A = this chain, B = another copy of it.
Amino acid sequence: MVTIYDIAKQANVSAMTVSKVINNTGKISEKTRVRIKKIMEEMNYVPNSMARSLVLQETKMLSLLIPDITNPFFTTVARGAEDAAMRLGYKLLFGNSDESLSKEKEYVDMVLSTRVDGVLFSAASDLSGPHLETLRRHKIPFVLLDRYVPGIDCDMVSGDSKEGARKLVEHLIAQGHRRIAVINGSLTVSTARERLAGYREALKLNDIPADDELILEMNYKQFADEAALRRLLELPEPPTAVFAGNNFIAVGLIRKLLELGIRVPDQMSVVCFDDLGASVIDPFFTVVSQPAYQFGAMGIQLLIDRIKGATTPEWKRVVLPSELIIRGSSSAPESKRA
């Protein structure tokens, strides 16, 4: 491997001089600068960032931990994060936790030994606290993404899940629905709690009685509990609309509904959080769409600000706006139609 010493020897200077032209630091005469640059070119020299990291105590690497890159929301987050990191001169290490604490722990261990400069962290659940404390103990800055973790004060970028859920449910109410079910992610995830709170608020604001039988808790990874759905449909007064906690739940739900011969939106309206990605042909779901790309880009921005100490000591909390997009998966209930 070519090192600064090889360059130095070739150029009849000391290694230090070479180092200085690499980093544009110190005073070097223009003559020797171009001469050394030329030699570096010729010898295909590339600085070894491991060695540099070791002495500088920084790696210029960030890591992104998300539940699942396969979810279009996080795919786009990742793209935003990668673009921002690249633009600011950082590399991005990434990992999927599948909302599993044990995978998350594995990943945190990896991250610690890699000495990344910071972590953009979308927590598996409320129980991720210890992992974050581990990071903090090792003085690795992190920014929370999307999900709040109780007891952890830090920078964070998120959407407003409560407000988004409220908008979605009020849209259903405005269409005439009164029996509205929720199929939610695990309540150990902050966004799921907030979405439930938004749902409840919408009902209350519209004087619709809450009915716990209409509230199902599953997980964000997929539609998980067919039996629960059947029970929902066999209620004396079944729901005419469902608010799905995220896109994956909504997709799974629709599939089940199709299997059961229930038409959407004719017999059942379905709305959900988060869009389905750029590749979808005929946008179908009524959703609250969050600016996923911004989530990632802004997260990296906050993280780097924090790393560089370019921020105020107080924690920053950025809340990105979401947008209600009304499409074909929701309509007035049968009973209210001509």
Binding site for B on A (CB under 8 A): 1, 44, 46-51, 53-54, 57, 59, 61, 68-72, 75-76, 78-79, 82-83, 86, 91-96, 106-107, 109-110, 112-115, 137-138, 247-248, 251, 254-255, 258, 276-282, 284-285
Measured in the bound complex, the distance between the Cα atoms of B285 and A83 in whole Å is 31
- State whether A48 touches B279 (Cβ < 8 A): no
Measured in the bound complex, the distance between the Cα atoms of B106 and A83 in whole Å is 12
Asked, given contacts A50-B53, A109-B46, A276-B279, whether A69 binds B78 with beta carbons under 8 Å apart, the answer is: yes
The smallest beta-carbon distance between A119 and chain B, in angstroms, is 13
Q: Which of A71, A114, A138 has the largest count of B CB atoms less than 10 A from its CB?
A: A114
- State whether B86 touches A95 (Cβ < 8 A): yes
Closest to A76 in B: B70
Give chain B residues whose Cβ lies under 8 Å from the Cβ of A91: 93, 110, 114
- State whether B277 touches A114 (Cβ < 8 A): no
The smallest beta-carbon distance between A102 and chain B, in angstroms, is 12
Closest to A255 in B: B281
- State whether A70 touches B278 (Cβ < 8 A): yes
Measured in the bound complex, the distance between the Cα atoms of B168 and A25 in whole Å is 59
Asked, given contacts A254-B281, A279-B276, whether A75 binds B86 with beta carbons under 8 Å apart, the answer is: no
Other A-B pairs, 5, CB within 8 Å; known A50-B59, A251-B278: A50-B50, A91-B110, A248-B279, A251-B279, A281-B285
- State whether A281 touches B106 (Cβ < 8 A): no
Give chain B residues whose Cβ lies under 8 Å from the Cβ of A92: 93-95
The smallest beta-carbon distance between A77 and chain B, in angstroms, is 10
Measured in the bound complex, the distance between the Cα atoms of B280 and A248 in whole Å is 9
Asked, given contacts A93-B91, A93-B92, whether A50 binds B276 with beta carbons under 8 Å apart, the answer is: no
Give chain B residues whose Cβ lies under 8 Å from the Cβ of A53: 50
The smallest beta-carbon distance between A255 and chain B, in angstroms, is 7
- State whether A82 touches B106 (Cβ < 8 A): no
Give chain B residues whose Cβ lies under 8 Å from the Cβ of A107: 86
The smallest beta-carbon distance between A109 and chain B, in angstroms, is 7
The smallest beta-carbon distance between A239 and chain B, in angstroms, is 19
Q: A-B pairs with the 3 shortest C-beta distances?
A: A46-B112, A49-B113, A50-B53
Closest to A280 in B: B280
Asked, given contacts A48-B115, A113-B49, A279-B276, whether A79 binds B70 with beta carbons under 8 Å apart, the answer is: yes
- State whether B70 touches A86 (Cβ < 8 A): no
Closest to A137 in B: B44
- State whether A49 touches B93 (Cβ < 8 A): no
Measured in the bound complex, the distance between the Cα atoms of B137 and A54 in whole Å is 25
Measured in the bound complex, the distance between the Cα atoms of B69 and A37 in whole Å is 36
- State whether A69 touches B75 (Cβ < 8 A): yes
The smallest beta-carbon distance between A11 and chain B, in angstroms, is 20
Measured in the bound complex, the distance between the Cα atoms of B140 and A44 in whole Å is 14
- State whether A138 touches B44 (Cβ < 8 A): yes
A-B contacts, 18 of them at CB < 8 A, read A44-B137, A46-B109, A46-B113, A47-B113, A48-B54, A49-B114, A50-B50, A54-B54, A61-B93, A69-B82, A72-B72, A82-B95, A82-B96, A92-B94, A92-B95, A276-B281, A280-B280, A281-B285
